[in-house]
């Protein structure tokens, strides 16, 4: 299945993508994770995009589109994938449309109030990308990754100023993709407000996956 997970930052796309990818045996492709990996490893790409990610603005379309094009050519993506955080603009969606025929676009719906709660409490394990929430999905030991015991961090763009900016960027540049995909008959709305297990159950049902 070739899918896009669309929705505001913090809606739970990454959390659900990890579970669906595992259950469906398809790769989870997060452009945000790819950028953060490059920043951490101080690659040329990482140096170019660090300030952009910290501010919550979008990386230029040309850079992002090329990255996704390369990633989708890998063998593991031949039979399906979950794109998480891409496309975020109409030109990105147009470019993706030239690369592949999508089966579904899942529209994660969540109010701004809940988005802010989720982003401000999000903590990540930088090495693996594992994601926690201080209230909704806490690690077994406070501040430590469950698997490695290494420290969890707050992303720079999950701090208050950047959150506001990211929501504006989402509204202006990404939200138009809802109509874009709805008019093409690809969109399915998903209420993302329930607990992680309940959102997953709804998603698994929708995609015809066995529950994990």
Binders of ligand ADP among 21-50, rule CB under 6 A? 31-32, 35
Give the per-residue SS3 of the chain: CEEEEECCCCCCHHHHHHHHHHHHCCCEEEHHHHHHHHHHCCCHHHHHHHHHHHHCCCCCHHHHHHHHHHHHCCHHHCCCEEEECCCCCHHHHHHHHHHCCCCEEEEEECCHHHHHHHHHHEEECCCCCCEEECCCECCCCCCECCCCCCECECCHHHCHHHHHHHHHHHHHHHCHHHHHHHHCCCEEEEECCCCHHHHHHHHHHHHCCCCC
Smallest gap from Cβ 25 to ligand ADP, in A, equals 20
Residue among 80 and 120 whose Cβ is closer to ligand ADP: 120
Residue 24 CB, nearest approach to ligand ADP (Å): 17
Under rule CB under 6 A, residue 53 binds ligand ADP: yes
Answer yes or no whether residue 139 interacts with ligand ADP by CB under 6 A.
Answer: no
C-alpha to C-alpha distance for 167 and 33, rounded to whole angstroms: 19
Query: Is 88 designated active site?
Result: yes
Q: How far apart (Å, rounded) are the C-alpha atoms in residues 136 and 132? A: 8
What is the smallest separation between the CB atom of 211 and ligand ADP, expressed in angstroms?
16
Closest CB to ligand ADP among residues 80, 138? 138
| Among positions 14, 21, 45, 93, the unique one binding ligand ADP when judged by CB under 6 A | 14
Find the catalytic residue in 2, 36, 118, 122: 122
Residues binding ligand ADP: number (CB under 6 A)? 36
Which residue is listed with tokens 């990308």? 129
Stretch that binds ligand ADP, among 20-28, 40-48, 128-136, 140-148 (CB under 6 A): 128-136
Is 140 marked active-site?
no
Contact positions with ligand ADP (CB under 6 A) in 66-85? 85
Q: How many CA atoms lie within 13 A of 115 on its CB side?
A: 22
Per CB under 6 A, the list member of 4, 6, 13, 72 interacting with ligand ADP is: 13
- When computed from its CA atoms, the radius of gyration of the chain, rounded to whole angstroms, is 16
Query: Catalytic annotation on 130?
Result: no
Q: Which residues are catalytic?
A: 13, 88, 122, 155, 166
**Site residues, ligand ADP (CB under 6 A):** 7, 9-15, 31-32, 35, 52-53, 56-59, 64, 85-88, 92, 118, 121-122, 131-133, 136-137, 157, 166, 195-196, 199
């Amino acid at each position: 299945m070739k899918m896009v997970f669309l929705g505001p930052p913090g809606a739970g796309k990454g959390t659900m993508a990890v579970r669906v990818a595992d259950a469906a045996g398809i790769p989870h492709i997060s452009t945000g994770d790819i950028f953060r990996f490059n920043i951490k490893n101080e690659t040329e790409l990482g140096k170019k995009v660090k300030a952009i990610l910290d501010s919550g603005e979008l990386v230029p379309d040309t850079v992002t589109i090329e990255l996704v094009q390369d990633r989708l050519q890998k063998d593991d993506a031949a039979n399906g994938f979950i794109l998480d955080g891409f496309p975020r603009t109409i030109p990105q969606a147009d470019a993706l449309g030239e690369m592949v025929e999508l089966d579904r676009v899942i529209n994660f719906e969540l109010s701004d109030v809940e988005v802010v709660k989720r982003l401000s409490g999000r903590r990540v394990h930088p090495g693996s990308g594992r994601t926690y929430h201080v209230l909704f999905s806490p690690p077994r030991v406070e501040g430590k990754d469950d698997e490695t015991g290494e420290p969890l961090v707050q992303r720079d763009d999950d701090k208050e100023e950047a959150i506001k900016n990211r929501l504006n960027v989402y509204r202006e540049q990404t939200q138009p993709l809802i109509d874009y995909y709805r008019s093409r008959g690809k969109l399915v709305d998903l209420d993302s407000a329930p607990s992680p297990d309940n959102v997953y159950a709804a998603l698994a049902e929708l995609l015809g996956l066995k529950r994990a």
